[in-house]
Amino acid sequence: MEKESNWINNKISKEALSDLPLKHYTGEIVVVEDEQGISKVIEEINGEKVLGFDTETRPSFKKGQTNLISLIQLSTKKSTFLIRTNKTGLSGQLLQLLSNPNVKKVGVGIRDDIRGLQKIKDFTPAGFVELQTMALDKGLKDFSLKKLAGILLEIRVSKRQRLSNWEADELSEAQMVYAATDSWVALKIFKKLDALDQNRVVDVETDNEAKA
């Protein structure tokens, strides 16, 4: 079956993913470490209906030991905000955002993010959108952020900084770019899925069988 150029496959192999161009976020990054900074973030995102969302946690290499979430990433079309929750905690303004049903917070693995944040301070989550569920509803079969970026955006994103120290006194440039890329990509994936007609998704296995 020949696919039209605007059709997409429902899954992607490791080989195909490795052939895609490596991309990262190149826009404005704002690091927030205090309540005043959070207030500025809330002002900046006022009126936004959809935010790319992710979190980072300092890894633990001891069995049975876990750490609290260290960072919340929020992306708009113009900027990405990195909120260092290990320094700010979850302020009232942040909790209002996390509980606001009118602002969509879109990402992958949202349930784990919410549970991690509730360990810092309990709140009632609202407005969160799981991209994996959206992808499944559209007929896709690969659901990690990396693979969704490959399928839908035709780009490859690096995960090298995932296990770095997110509670360092200062985040490195590589950490900031990595963190910003994750929430930025989440926002772009949401927009792509939101506009995607399920009929445009092609089953890779069926397509390959047709060519055999």
Query: 47: phi > 0 → left, psi -120 to 50 → alpha, else beta; which?
Result: left
The pLDDT score that the predictor gives to residue 62 is 74
The pLDDT score that the predictor gives to residue 211 is 41
The pLDDT score that the predictor gives to residue 2 is 43
- In the chain, where are the structural domains located? 27-140+159-199
pLDDT profile of the chain (212 residues), mean per 10 = 64 94 97 97 96 94 83 98 98 97 98 97 98 95 93 91 86 96 98 88 62 40
pTM (two decimals): 0.90
**For the chain, how are helix, strand and coil distributed in percent, rounded to 5?**
40, 20, 40
Was domain 27-140+159-199 assigned CATH 3.30.420.10? Answer: yes
CA angle 52, 126, 162 (to 5 degrees): 40
